[in-house]
Structure 1
């Protein structure tokens, strides 16, 4: 069920279709709004001498700085053969050692995410939030990757930098949404399985942003969530809709379930309580796990202006611990 409603949203869609399905052009448009969301920029350092201090990052940095004359002890693998041939004197390449962070977006595509009564579906709002974070991340020099789960979605995009890396993720989000809408889901995919996949994909020091309504949470999710939080930063964006937070006005409502028409009656205060409790209990397990592990969470409603709603995420990231 979906209907337009009050409230503002970042990069409001031009047509109703964009309210119920993820569109690539809508996600690309979040690039403009990303200027107002400031994520902490990654740090890059240059080593004066190789081997002076052991690093937790393996391999040589990939950022080329300059070429200089060869000096005794320089690694032969860093020789700049083109400059050497052109100048007639041996030259070696100087690289900048990277300390960039990877941002991994873990996005729930369960059937419960394809629901919304104000402005858009939770799935659309989650995709827009993910796009906003992705554009903000590359502005700070970070890499961005994505992982989808639920409704037959099992795709992964390894973290990569620059606009090209973001676009790769955004195309995946749109494709995964299309797959989720046509796939017949036999049952919700446990969150624990998605977090295990994320743990294998995320490098130490990564920021993992989980976007879900919490309905796929399970008791087994706490262990992989703890391991992710122990090796990096984890943030939970809990997607909600107004109808999940408060029962509808008293009355009799017709609904279609599996092609069968049924009626819901709200004629007593007890029904209101049962309604809100049903939704609260479904997400309470994940919230309890997050609190125990110290994982910060932000509630994101389908009506929210994402630039304002996600601002606390940027402030929290500015004080993240260093893994350098």
Structure 2
């Protein structure tokens, strides 16, 4: 029979369905706090539904200065001899699509829990928040032999489908321990994400490759992207003075810490591994939210909760 200590230890290194379901309570508080904040900030402002780049075609009308050229209706333009543009109706239910990194580097953590576990917990919290607000949720998993996809669906059933996949993908990744590049996941995400979707990429950034720039740019053109950058304390600062033994690629290697040069090189090595993705995201105006393995998620994801609530308030 598992003891509370054993259960807690297991929850720290592997994704458990009961822990993800428990995020539903935290999501309720997150939604309520964010909704109150948005209501206070927008007091006296009349909101209404608007037409924009969504997924439902409404009509074609004569081109007006400032219209997006990507919405040009070339068939009507050719038939009438005058430029026309397509008008789309904004979707009432937006899709929230999670892209979860399961590469070996995510199976790591020295404080409270693994990065992989914290990523799944964060996705679960946002998923419950999204379906509570009427949005649909889906997911794409990559790395560690994971190639699964969950098409967006609404309500508690939609959230539970994602949560069960998070658990299954985590178990497969821990058993497989193979790596996949970010570019591969973004290409799959681009095929699944509909225009106007919110795409949340949960990763430690180590999987970023040069080829990821192109699909990230194309995805950012039609979707709202947020990055949850998973970190652990040992990646942000060198360990205390002393000699340490690490298992690297099946080999055991010893490191000695305590001098400034070695400690600085340690931190810089982790920073460089993330820099490719962080720099690419920021150049595209994509928000990068740091999420530490120690974080209380309701607090660290408060800004994301505000973004979700603000979008609903404008719908």
So what's the TM-score if we normalise by structure 1?
0.76
- Aligned partner of 1:299 in structure 2 is 290
Q: Is the 8 A contact 1:31 1:135 kept in 2?
A: yes
Query: Which range is displaced more, 215-224 or 201-210?
Result: 215-224
- The verdict on how the C-alpha distance between 1:153 and 1:198 changes in structure 2, with shifts beyond 3 A counting, is same
1:311 partnered with 2:302? yes
Report the equivalent of 1:120: 113
2-structure distance, mates of 1:98, 1:259: 50
Matched-pair contact (CA < 8 Å) for 1:213–1:239: yes
RMSD, matched Cα: 2.7
Q: Are the equivalent residues in 2 in contact too, given 1:13–1:26 (CA < 8 A)?
A: no
The corresponding residue for 2:55 is 57
Distance in 2 (alpha carbons) for counterparts of 1:123 and 1:183 = 14
Task: Identify the residue that residue 191 of structure 1 maps to in structure 2.
Answer: 182
Could you tell me how far apart the structure 1 residues matched to 2:6 and 2:222 are? 38
Task: Indicate which of 152, 165, 175 corresponds to 1:159.
Answer: 152
Name the structure 1 match of 2:217. 226
Structure with the higher helix share, 1 or 2: 2
Q: Highest CA radius of gyration, 1 or 2?
A: 1
Query: SS at the partner of 1:16?
Result: helix
Please say if residues 19 and 119 of structure 1, whose CA atoms lie closer than 8 Å, have aligned partners that are also in contact.
Answer: yes
Counterpart check, 1:249 vs 2:240: yes
| Correspondence for 1:206 | 197
What is the number of residues matched between the two proteins?
Answer: 266
1:23 aligned residue (7, 16, 24)? 16
**What stretches of structure 1 of length at least 5 have no aligned partner?**
1-11, 47-52, 61-96
Partner of 1:267: 258
1:99-123 Cα distance to aligned partner (Å, 9 max, x none): 1100000000000000000000000
| In 2, Cα distance between equivalents of 1:151 and 1:17 | 19
In 2, are the aligned partners of 1:233 and 1:320 still within 8 Å (CA)? Answer: no
SS at match of 2:55: coil
> Does 2:122 match 1:135?
no
**In the alignment, what sits opposite 1:171?**
164
Cα distance in 1 between the residues matched to 2:205 and 2:126? 20
Q: Tell me if the contact between 2:97 and 2:197 (Cα under 8 Å) persists in the aligned partners.
A: yes
1:240 is the counterpart of 2:231:
yes
Structure 2 length-normalised TM: 0.78
- Cα drift, residue 281 of structure 1: 0.2
Distance in 1, matches of 2:6 and 2:57, equals 44
| Cα offsets for 1:194-240 (capped at 9, x unmatched) | 01100100111100000000000012212211121111200000000
Does the 8 Å CA contact 2:241/2:258 hold for their aligned counterparts?
Answer: yes
User: Which whole-Å deviations, capped at 9, do the CAs of 1:134-182 have from their partners, x for residues lacking one?
Assistant: 0000011000001000011000000000100110100000000000000
| Inter-CA distance 184–245: structure 2 relative to 1 (3 Å threshold) | closer
> Unaligned 5+ residue runs, structure 2?
39-47, 59-89
Query: How is 1:267-286 mapped onto 2 (pairs within 5 angstroms)?
Result: 267-286=258-277
Distance change in 2, residues 1:260/1:139 (3 Å): same
